[in-house]
Each structure stands twice: as C-alpha cells, then as structure tokens.
C-alpha cells in the first residue's frame, strides 16, 4: 500500500453538500433526513432503475409493459372530466401509428404546449388502453425546431426518491457530486492486487459506470445488481461492515475478563440431570468452557432450534462462574420466559446449594430492595430476570457471565448494558475494568451467510441436534373452511389426555383487535367443547392473569389454550401435541417455526395445522409449503432469507447489518469468504486503511466500535 494514499484521506473530511450550487439549507435538510450529508453520500445514492433514452422506438414496435422512448407529433388533444380531470394527447409518428399520452394531473401551461403538430419526445411504459397503446404520465419534452434533439449517449439513472427533493434536482445534484469525484488514486482504498484478482474496476470507474452507464452497458446485469461495477461497490461495503464488526470484537476482547475454569460444580449439575446431554450440547458446552478459561471476555452466540436444550447449557456455563466465586445473570425477553428459566434453574441448582435470585419488573417494594441487596453482596450467585436486570440501580457484586436468551429481542445496546454491570462498573456508564463473558442464545437460527456477515463480532455455535425421543411434528395446511373438523380433532386429542393450542392471529395486529378475536374464539370453542377446560392468553391481559393462564396450561389444569402469539417464545409444555394456527398465511416463517416449536416437545406424535384464508399469494404458498416440508430451523431460516431478504430477518436495531446501501446478502453471498480473507489481512497489515473503509461506508454506525 503506497503511503501517499493514506496521507490524502479524502474521505476523512466529507465535504458538506452546501458546496454544491443549488443546495441551500432546506434541500440539505431533506437530504440529511435520508442520511445524505456529504458528497460521498451522494456518490453512494445509487440508481434503482435505468431508462434507455439512447434510441427512439417506433410506435408500431412498442411492446406493452416495456419502457421505451418515443417521438411523434401531436395529432389531437382532448380534455375530459368524466370522473376526474384527464388530458389525452394523441401523437403520431412518421409511420402513421398513434399513441395516446394520458395525464391525470396537469397544468394549463402544459395543455398549451401540446399544440397540434408540436414535436414531442417522451419516455414511459406503454399499456393497452381504450384505443391501442397508451402511456400514463410519461416523462416528456416538447421539442422546438432549433432544439438540440441529439439522443442521449448513456442510460439515464432513476434514483430512489427522496421526499422534498424532486427527481430532476436529485439527478442534477448527483451529477454535480460526480463531477467532483477525486482522481482514481486518491479515491481508491482497495489494494490493487485484490481488484485485479477479482477483475473489478476502480472505485471511480465503478461509480461512474453505475451512475452513467454507457449505452452498450449490460443493463440486465445492472438491473440485477451483478454488474462488475456493482460487485466492486458491494465488495467494499461488505468489507467495511466486516471490518467494523471485527474491530468491535477486538475492542471488546481488549478488556480483561475473569478466568473461569473450575468445572466440578458443572459436573455435579450434569450428573444430577434426569437426561444425558446430546452430542451437540456437549460440543457447545465444550466450546464455552474453552472460552471461559481465557482471560478475555467470551462473546458467543449459541443458535439452537426450539427445544434443542439451550437452557441447560447456559446453566452449566453459569456453574463455572459460581464455582469461581462469582455471579452469573440470565436475562430473558419476557417475564413468562424468565420465570420458566427461574423454575428450571431453581430445580437444577438448589440441590447444589446454589442461590438463585429473581429480578423482574413486577418485583417491587421490599422484595426488590432485598433482591438488590443480595445481588450487590454476591449472596445471589445466579440472577434470573428480564430487562429489569439492566436497570440503573442494579449493581452486581462480581458479575462474570452474562447470558442473554432469545437475542433477537434485544439490541446490541442492551447487551452492552448488561456487560457494563461487570466488576468495578459504575452506573455512570464507564466500561468496567473486568467485563463479563457474554453468552447469547437464539432459537431463530441465522443462515450461515447471514451469521457470517452479521456476527463477525461473535463466535457462533450451533446446537444442531434435538434431544432423543422427539417425534417430528406432522404439519398440514388447510383452508379456513375446514375449521369445523378441527374442533373434533381437538376433542379427540384431549380425550387421550393431550393438550392443544389454538393460536389466533389477524391482519390487524393491534393488541386490542387480536385480543378481541382471541376472546371470541375462546367463547366459541368453550361452547363447542363444553367437556374441555379451555384457557385464554392474550397481550391485553394483566401479566398476572397471563401467567396464571399459562401456568394452568403447563400444569395440565386446562386442556386447550386459546392464545395470541404471546406464547411464541420459549414456553415449554411437553404434553401439548396439537397446535392450530389461524391465518397462518399472515405470519413469517420464523414466527411460524417458533410457534410450531411449542408442540412436539414430548414423545407423543404431534400435529400442527396451518389454517389459511384462500386465495394464497405465491409467497404465502411457499411459506406454508416450506413449513410442511421441513422442521429444520436452519433450512427454514435459509428459505426465510431467500423470501424476505436480510433486512427484515434481522432489523437494523438488532445488528446494524441491515441497511446496506448496495450489498444484498442473498445475491452477494459468494463474496463473503473473500471479504473475510481480505478483511483479516487488512486489519493486520493496514489498519489505517481499514479505518478509512469503515468510515466511508459504515460511518456513524461504527459508533459502537469503541464499545
């Protein structure tokens, strides 16, 4: 890497947009609202479409649905007001073919332009109209006789709209920004060897190609996002994200952590369990043990399908902290789930004389004061709870291991907040001298590619095996018309001593409306199944009522539980063997998979019925089909990624990886191994260059870098 380049640091001081003529405070503000604050942000605001104005298509050669540029003379103009104002302009070309341009919004001045005989050049997508083809709201220009009517030499970019900045202004501004692109050498950050190896253009060339493609550019590739110019940008962006995550990790690991290597207590716990660990559980616990024996903080994500037995692995890890005379905390996203952990841990740990404390929002008054005192004195060795664990005023004596369950519900910030409860940490937010090891658990498997990109700051383990004796859940999709049959199925299952869930979902997922639907379903089913004990849980119930209903179901005091998706996460009732999900077509794959995971937890053959409202959209059909075909969370996650895209799979909040400007993890997955390899090399050999790549692409989002 020549030194000279590092010295230029062009992108270290991004020029403010107000240097561009025509950008006043107002426009700058609108652009800033979309995150565009510098020339560089404009360079990276890439077209979403291209229009080919390099040729004129004869009217007779137009194809419905295919955008084209057309030229002709005005033959007739008609203004109508049938339902709303409409302007119809018929133009004809030299071959006596006619095309109608139709406008619903127009000004008087516009109408005046279309004198019969005037020459009009327009661009748009023709569709069949009342009399032959027509184009609604084409972009157009009336050509005067001395007009320069030369055709464009390049494809015209169409940019994603920005509220308050018209498309023409935006295009002009981007053009001006591109005119200020620095020369190739000062702009380029990627090592030449890498570009050559991948046959990718320089950044300058790539940007110019993407914004101003030559007429003969491979437009299909451009539209698909696979053009070398785009791949070049994608590579750099992925690299920037990777580097930023890796730096977070290094910063994290620069902290000291307690060395936890005594395993006698964990062995005692294991010996007392009523089951043997699966091979996968053993393996993952082994990985955790190795991490904990290091003086650096562990940062490990454990992915494991619903029911794969993550809790016991967490408990085993906690024993290493306890045996070292320190504390472990286990945080779950809902009170119900936290309470389930509490019960499990108490049952497992109290025989070992390990003191387990409980801290949730509803623990108040004197009870709270007492728990806080136990946590602060170290009397509480394992602390289980909800977000309440992270609140100000919760001070641990010596927290050595922070376990976060169902990571998707928590953001990076929250993880850091719990970490900051480590020894010597104050509530002032200072990073403590010793930080706790972190174990993050999720039942929503993340596809391999995504995990690679999203969790470069974490080590990832997978519990990819279910405990023995589980029988697969038979899944069927039925149209809602077959609902009555299901009542009989529930009756039959419950007559055998089994339990069933009926899950209500609606399009409108406001708590109130769904709660109402659940209430109605509850009343209906209670009447039809009068011999059964029916329970109800929904989001509008008080926490205590919800818990009472869940507990009654868990304890076998109710046979059928009518519920909204509040039962989604982690609840364990092995005797439940039938689940019916209403409006299943409305739910995403991850959620369906989570819900279905509530059954098939015991040894009885289980069934899941996905009720849907026909007609099914193509996407919904694929989702239901996937659910029918597989129960493997990893396969489902891959499919989900394919159907939904990474942005929706992991919100920005969770990982900061959504919101790529150009990369698409599904399309560009093949670049990831290369990104990793190059990333590692850059971090080692040219850390400053790595910094600049991160600053260019990730910018503000890198604020966790020092975390």
User: Applying CB under 6 A, which residues contact ligand ADP?
Assistant: 275-278, 281, 304, 306-312, 443, 467, 570, 572
Nearest approach, Cβ of 273 to ligand ADP (angstroms)? 8
- Cis check: omega of the bond before 615, within 30 degrees of 0: yes
Alpha-helical regions (H) of 353-406:
365-377
Name which of 570 and 699 has its Cβ closer to Mg ion: 570
Using DSSP's 3-state secondary structure scheme, residue 623 falls into: helix
Question: Could you give the string, one character per residue 517-556, with x where binding to Mg ion holds by CB under 5 A and - elsewhere?
Answer: ----------------------------------------
CA atoms 104, 107, 112, 113: torsion sign: negative
Binding piece for Mg ion, criterion CB under 5 A, among 320-328, 566-574, 626-634, 661-669: 566-574
Distance CA(234)–CA(531), nearest Å, equals 61
Residues 656, 412: contact at Cβ < 8 Å? yes
278: partner contacted, choices Mg ion, ligand ADP, none (Cβ within 5-8 A by kind): ligand ADP
Nearest approach, Cβ of 637 to ligand ADP (angstroms)? 15
Burial class (CB in 10 A: 0-12, 13-18, 19+), 394: buried
Distance CA(637)–CA(588), nearest Å, equals 11
> CA neighbours within 13 Å on the CB side: how many for 409?
18
Name which of 312 and 486 has its Cβ closer to Mg ion: 312
Name which of 53 and 601 has its Cβ closer to ligand ADP: 601
309: partner contacted, choices ligand ADP, Mg ion, none (Cβ within 5-8 A by kind): ligand ADP
Name which of 349 and 536 has its Cβ closer to ligand ADP: 349
Nearest approach, Cβ of 630 to Mg ion (angstroms)? 21
Name which of 447 and 570 has its Cβ closer to Mg ion: 570
Nearest approach, Cβ of 278 to ligand ADP (angstroms)? 5
Nearest approach, Cβ of 309 to Mg ion (angstroms)? 9
Nearest approach, Cβ of 357 to ligand ADP (angstroms)? 20
Using DSSP's 3-state secondary structure scheme, residue 315 falls into: helix
Give the pair of three-digit tokens for residue 250: 């290094």
Beta carbons within 8 Å of 539's beta carbon, 6+ residues apart: 511, 514, 515, 564, 566
72: partner contacted, choices Mg ion, ligand ADP, none (Cβ within 5-8 A by kind): none
600 binds Mg ion (CB under 5 A): no
Name which of 157 and 570 has its Cβ closer to Mg ion: 570
Nearest approach, Cβ of 572 to ligand ADP (angstroms)? 5
In the bound state, the residue with its beta carbon closest to Mg ion is: 570
DSSP state of 531: T
275: partner contacted, choices Mg ion, ligand ADP, none (Cβ within 5-8 A by kind): ligand ADP
Residues 233, 662: contact at Cβ < 8 Å? yes
How many of the chain's residues bind Mg ion (CB under 5 A)? 1
Name which of 248 and 442 has its Cβ closer to ligand ADP: 442
H helix or E strand, kind and range, residue 477: strand 473-479
Distance CA(173)–CA(187), nearest Å, equals 20
570 binds Mg ion (CB under 5 A): yes
Task: Provide the Cα torsion 161, 165, 167, 172; round to 10°.
Answer: -120
CB atoms within 10 A of CB 373: 11
79: partner contacted, choices Mg ion, ligand ADP, none (Cβ within 5-8 A by kind): none
Name which of 314 and 454 has its Cβ closer to Mg ion: 314
Burial class (CB in 10 A: 0-12, 13-18, 19+), 552: middle
Name which of 276 and 703 has its Cβ closer to ligand ADP: 276
Nearest approach, Cβ of 571 to Mg ion (angstroms)? 9
CA 589 vs CA 111, 480, 567, 634, 671: distances in Å: 52, 19, 16, 11, 26
Q: Which residues bind Mg ion (CB under 5 A)?
A: 570
């Amino acid at each position: 890497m020549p030194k000279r380049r590092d010295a230029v640091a062009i992108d270290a001081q991004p020029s403010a947009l107000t240097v561009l003529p025509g950008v006043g405070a107002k426009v700058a503000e609108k652009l800033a609202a979309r995150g565009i604050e510098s020339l560089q942000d404009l360079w990276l605001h890439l077209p979403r479409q291209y229009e080919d104005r390099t040729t004129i298509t004869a009217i007779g050669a137009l194809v419905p649905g295919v955008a084209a540029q057309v030229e002709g003379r005005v033959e007739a103009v008609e203004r109508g007001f049938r339902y709303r104002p409409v302007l119809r302009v018929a133009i004809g070309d030299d071959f006596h073919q006619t095309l109608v341009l139709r406008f619903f919004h127009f000004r008087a001045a516009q109408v005046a332009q279309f004198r019969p005989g005037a020459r009009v050049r327009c661009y748009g997508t023709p569709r069949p109209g009342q009399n032959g083809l027509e184009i609604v709201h084409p972009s157009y220009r009336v050509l005067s006789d001395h007009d320069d009517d030369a055709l464009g030499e390049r494809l015209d970019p169409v940019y994603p709209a920005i509220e308050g900045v018209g498309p023409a202004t935006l295009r002009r501004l981007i053009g001006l920004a591109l005119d200020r692109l620095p020369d190739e050498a000062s702009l380029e950050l990627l090592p030449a060897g890498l570009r050559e190896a991948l046959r990718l253009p320089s950044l300058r060339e790539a940007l110019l190609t993407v914004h101003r493609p030559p007429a003969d550019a491979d437009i299909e590739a451009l539209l698909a996002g696979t053009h070398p110019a785009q791949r070049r940008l994608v590579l750099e962006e992925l690299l920037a994200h990777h580097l930023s995550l890796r730096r977070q990790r290094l910063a994290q690991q620069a902290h000291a952590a307690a060395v936890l290597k005594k395993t006698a207590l964990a062995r005692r716990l294991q010996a007392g369990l009523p089951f043997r660990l699966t091979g996968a559980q053993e393996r993952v616990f082994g990985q955790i043990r190795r991490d904990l024996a290091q003086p650096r903080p562990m940062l490990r994500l454990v992915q494991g399908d619903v029911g794969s037995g993550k809790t016991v692995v967490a408990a085993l890890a906690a024993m290493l902290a306890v045996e070292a005379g320190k504390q472990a905390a286990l945080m779950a996203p809902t009170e119900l789930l936290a309470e389930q952990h509490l019960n499990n841990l108490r049952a497992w740990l109290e025989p070992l004389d390990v003191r387990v404390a409980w801290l949730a929002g509803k623990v108040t008054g004197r009870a709270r004061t007492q728990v806080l005192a136990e946590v602060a004195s170290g009397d509480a060795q394992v602390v289980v709870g909800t977000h309440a664990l992270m609140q100000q005023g919760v001070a641990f004596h010596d927290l050595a291991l922070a376990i976060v369950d169902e990571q998707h519900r928590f953001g990076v910030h929250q993880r850091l907040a719990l970490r900051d409860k480590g020894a010597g940490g104050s509530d002032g937010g200072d990073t403590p001298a010793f930080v706790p090891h972190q174990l993050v658990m999720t039942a929503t498997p993340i596809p391999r590619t995504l995990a690679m990109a999203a969790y470069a700051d974490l080590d990832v383990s997978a519990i990819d095996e279910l405990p023995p004796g589980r029988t697969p859940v038979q899944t069927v999709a039925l149209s809602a018309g077959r609902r009555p049959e299901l009542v009989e199925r529930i009756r039959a299952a419950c007559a055998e001593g089994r339990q069933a869930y009926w899950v209500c979902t609606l399009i409108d997922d406001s708590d109130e409306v769904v709660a109402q639907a659940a209430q109605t379903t509850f009343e209906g089913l209670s009447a039809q199944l009068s011999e059964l004990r029916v329970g109800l849980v929904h989001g509008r119930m008080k926490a205590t009522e919800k818990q009472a209903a869940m507990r009654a179901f868990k304890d076998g005091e109710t046979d059928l539980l009518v519920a909204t998706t509040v039962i989604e996460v982690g609840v364990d009732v092995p005797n439940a063997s039938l689940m019916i999900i209403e409006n299943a077509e409305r739910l995403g794959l991850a959620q369906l998979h989570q819900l279905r995971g509530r059954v098939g937890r015991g040894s009885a053959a289980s069934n899941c019925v996905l009720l849907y409202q026909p007609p099914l959209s193509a996407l919904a059909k694929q989702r239901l089909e996937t659910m029918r075909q597989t129960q493997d969370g990893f396969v489902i996650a891959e499919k989900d990624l394919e159907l939904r895209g990474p942005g929706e799979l992991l919100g920005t909040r969770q990982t900061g990886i959504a919101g790529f400007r150009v990369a698409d993890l599904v399309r560009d997955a093949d670049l990831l191994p290369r990104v990793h390899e190059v990333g590692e090399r850059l971090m080692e050999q040219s850390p400053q260059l790595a910094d600049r790549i991160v600053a260019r692409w990730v910018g503000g989002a890198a604020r966790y870098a020092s975390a």
